[in-house]
Amino acid sequence: MLMLTPVAYGLAVLLDLLIAFIGLRFLLTPGPAAAGYGVPAKENGDAAYLTIKGLRDLTYGLLGLALLAFAGARAEAWFMLVVAIVPFVDTVIVLRHGGTKAVAFGIHFATAVTVLLSAALLFMV
């Protein structure tokens, strides 16, 4: 059980940092970020979508880090359990809007599963 703690915390920190990075990418380089998401943005007209997505992801990443630092593993585990909804729904969004199955399942669905794994590990510490 003692060996599990660094893995659980490490995975949670990594996921929180990655989602914060994705949020920053959407805020700073929105076009390439949207393409990487799996649903490219229209040339002129998706600024609000891109900004909302960036802010959402940046906020989730920072909130996750704050929970882990100030409230502990159990609070972070509950957060991860709830926030896993986002990449599951992102999978559906990509599929419904012309994205590839490879991106939908290889990025978004895989992320959701990884976030659930992180939650499970955090509940175990």
Q: Provide the pLDDT for residue 44.
A: 78
pLDDT at 49: 84
Mean pLDDT of the residues in the chain:
95
pLDDT at residue 88 is higher than 90: yes
Ranking 29-33, 42-46, 86-90 by mean pLDDT, the lowest is 42-46
Question: What is the model's pLDDT at position 1?
Answer: 61
pLDDT number for residue 54? 97
Alpha helices in the chain (DSSP H): 4-28, 30-37, 47-70, 73-83, 85-96, 101-103, 110-124
**Whether 87 contacts 103, CB under 8 Å:** no
Q: Note the pLDDT of residue 43.
A: 81
Q: How many residues in the chain? A: 125
Q: Give the model confidence (pLDDT) of 36-80 as tens digits.
A: 999 988 887 678 889 999 999 999 999 999 999 999 999 999 999
**pLDDT of the residue at 42:** 84
pLDDT at residue 6 in the model: 95
Q: What is the number of structural domains in the chain?
A: 1
Domain residue limits at 100: 4-124
Tokens of 72: 């502990």
